[in-house]
Amino acid sequence: MKISFLIIVTHLLITQVVTAENLTFEEALKAKAIRYDVKSETGLRRMFLKIKNNRKNKIKVAVESGRFFLEESGQYQPFVVARPVAIRLEAGEEREIWMEGYCGNSGASSPKNNLKFNRTKMGPQLLCEVLQQMNEEKIVSKSLYQKVIWHFTNNHQLASVCAQDLDSITLKKTIQFICAKEKANPSWYSIEYANAESGDDLEFSGIPTQIKGTLSFYNPQRETVSVELANESGETVRVIQVHLGQPQGFANLPLDLSLSKIPKGKYQVRVVNREGKSLKEWPLYAS
Amino acid sequence: MKSNVLLMLLIGSNAFCQTPQLPFTFEELDLLETANTYTTCDESGKPMELISAMRIEINGRTCLENGLNVYLPMEKVKEFKKPTWYRWDPSVKTWKKQTLPINYISPDGKSGFNVILKCPGIYAFFEPLQGSTNKIELIAPKKMHVVKLKICQEAPFICVEMKNKKDGEFPIIPFGELKFDARITITYLEKGKEKSIDMLAGAMYDFENASERNVKTLQYKPSKTQTLFSSN
């Protein structure tokens, strides 16, 4: 009897010592279990988080993916957490952590040194779901995370969601997930942008440089066809490709178009036969 | 009133609006016409098969910064194993070989060849004649003074033109398989002036009674001008 009692008490003590209270950042804030401070540091492009446990017990705080940290003046980009981070804190402990923060507003300035980010909130629900899905897929492409975030925060076109450092299957899966959530069709092309002049990856240059895609259409008879770029008025501004004696039948033509010297705007890519008849058109937003 | 109406019509017709000018014009050329005009021989005079010909003219500058991508898809019936890319050099009146076409695979796995056009001129894809060692020799009376012989045919598009080097002697012309409807043009001198005779190969060579089509020695029927063709 005494031995059983001792075993039970020991178990309870051990349990109390080992188990930390699990809280999301949101829950911890609401319960006033934590106090935090976020600052920016240039060069490293990182978010510096100082977090203190106000409780007398151990806690484990999960900083959720999709959480925004906003700069106090509102002039600079908020930081966005793309991959969740779990922080274990002893009772009363304060820790300093470097976190990977992504840009939450492509139109705002990149943060300077030692700016304070004293407000926080969760981002749009769809963004959070997509980030969670990307985490589950174990995607590590920083470029893709940033482009996905800008798609939701700044309405960047879906065609901009692409990454060179990711296999095509995983990329396709991510885009399909976004399309399913947004009830939208995937884009037939992808668009790339120039790096910002500052060299800062958190800055968006807004200068489109390249379009890549596949033109799928049916050619009713064997003949030479050309691929043209037309402006909003329907006028041809560039002949991109010529396919000599394109066979009759279904065709998938590769498109790799440099946008240098093409003004920003709405365009149409079309496949035209020798008589000038358009066989198929695709919309293109060079912006 | 009338001038106001006219002005409105002009405005409505976009006469005042500047339409974008394309930096170049591209034209695919007729194969038979191209073969006839430029022949299908390389710099050394070796005949080739013409696959496709085109002309590009640049507006306002020498060459394009971003060239025009030209694709040659694989034909269903015949595969081009080694298409070569040539540009017509008008200064020396011959086809000059350019960089090799690049193999490309379309997204649906179909293969073809790709070149990038940047500078103006006339360009063509050629295929070397495969495995044929047929040659054609013209035998004509010395008094006829033949100065030129041209043989052009369709499908495959081959056109060869040779000049007489010695009086009464004519060089042996390398050629692929001669077809019944190949056009033969003989240019000869009569009283110092050049004259030409056009005829089909079928009128000069007995295709029906030839023992074998690919036999090296071919006998042509003499024409009214008493020319005799043979090939070996």
Q: Quick check: B115 and B101 in contact, CB under 8 A?
A: yes
pLDDT recorded at residue B209: 67
Give the whole-angstrom CA distance, residue B151 versus residue B58.
33
A239: left (phi over 0), alpha (psi -120 to 50) or beta: beta
Q: Would you say how long chain A is, in residues?
A: 287
Tokens 């004509």, residue? Answer: B140
Mean pLDDT of B147-152: 87
CA distance B108 to B91: 42
B17 to chain A: closest CA residue:
A233
Question: Is residue A163 packed enough to be buried (19+ CB in 10 Å), middle (13-18) or exposed (0-12)?
Answer: buried
Q: Find residue A253's DSSP bridge partners.
A: A215
Mind telling me how many Å the CA of B20 is from chain A's nearest CA?
Answer: 6
Mutation for A interface: B14, B18, B71, most A CBs within 10 A: B71
pLDDT for the residue numbered B180? 82
Beta strands, E only, chain A: 21-24, 34-41, 46-53, 59-63, 67-70, 79-81, 85-89, 94-103, 119-122, 189-193, 208-219, 223-230, 236-246, 249-258, 265-272, 278-286
pLDDT at residue B7 in the model: 40
| pLDDT tens series, chain A, 287 aa | 667 767 666 655 555 555 778 999 999 999 999 999 999 886 655 788 999 999 999 999 999 999 999 998 888 899 999 999 999 999 999 999 988 889 999 998 888 888 899 899 999 999 999 999 999 999 999 899 999 999 999 999 999 999 888 898 999 999 999 999 999 999 999 999 998 888 777 788 999 999 999 999 999 999 999 999 999 999 998 899 999 989 899 999 989 999 988 999 999 999 999 898 999 999 999 98
Residue reference for tokens 């990182």: A46
What is the Cα–Cα distance from A8 to A10, expressed in whole angstroms? 5
Q: Please tell me which residue, B177 or A141, carries the higher pLDDT value.
A: A141
Query: Structure tokens of A264?
Result: 């920003």
Contact criterion met (CB < 8 Å) for A242 and B69? yes
Give the separation between CA A48 and CA A38, rounded to whole angstroms: 5
Helix A142-153 to helix A168-182 angle, to the nearest 10 degrees?
A: 20
Are B28 and A237 a contacting pair at CB < 8 A?
no
CA quadruple A147, A150, A152, A155: dihedral sign: negative
Q: Is residue A271 a contact partner of residue A279, using CB atoms and an 8 Å limit?
A: yes
Per the DSSP assignment, residues forming a β-bridge with A98 are A48
CA–CA min distance A264, chain B (Å): 15
Place of tokens 């895609």: A213
Contacts of B210 (CB under 8 A, 6+ apart): B218, B219
Element (H, E) at A109: none
- Tell me if A274 and B28 make a contact (CB, 8 A cut-off): yes
Nearest to B26 among A239, A246, A254 (CB): A239
B28 interaction partners in chain A (CB closer than 8 Å): 224, 242, 244, 274
The partner residue sitting opposite A252, judged by closest CB among B19, B20, B107, is B107
| Contact predicate A266/A285, CB 8 Å | yes
Total-model pTM: 0.76
How many CB atoms are closer than 10 A to CB A143? 14
Alpha-carbon distance of A238 to B68, in angstroms, equals 9
Residue ranges per structural domain of chain A = 18-193, 208-286
The CATH homologous superfamily for domain A208-286 is Immunoglobulins (2.60.40.10)
How far is the C-alpha of A104 from the C-alpha of A84, rounded, in Å? 16
Q: Between chains, do A247 and B73 touch, taking CB under 8 Å as contact?
A: yes
> If you search the block for the tokens 């060869």, which residue do you land on?
B160
What span, in angstroms and rounded, lies between the C-alpha atoms of A267 and A253?
A: 18
Q: What is the pLDDT of residue B109?
A: 77
| Closest chain A C-alpha to B219 CA, distance in angstroms | 38
At residue B100, what is the residue type? L
**Biggest alpha carbon distance in chain A?**
100
Q: Give the model's pLDDT for residue B228.
A: 43
A interface residues, B as partner, C-beta within 8 Å: 214, 224, 226, 231, 235-247, 250-254, 258, 260-261, 274
Give residue B93's region: left, alpha or beta (phi > 0; psi -120 to 50).
left
Nearest to A120 by CA among A187, A24, A209, A245: A24
Which residues are CB-contacts of A250 (< 8 A; sequence separation ≥ 6)? Answer: A216, A217, A218, A219, B108
- pLDDT for the residue B19: 47
Tokens of B155: 């499908």
Q: How far does B9 lie from chain A, in Å, by closest CA?
A: 19
pLDDT for position A199 = 78
- pLDDT at B178 > cutoff 90: no
Highest mean pLDDT among A279-283, B2-6, B138-142: A279-283
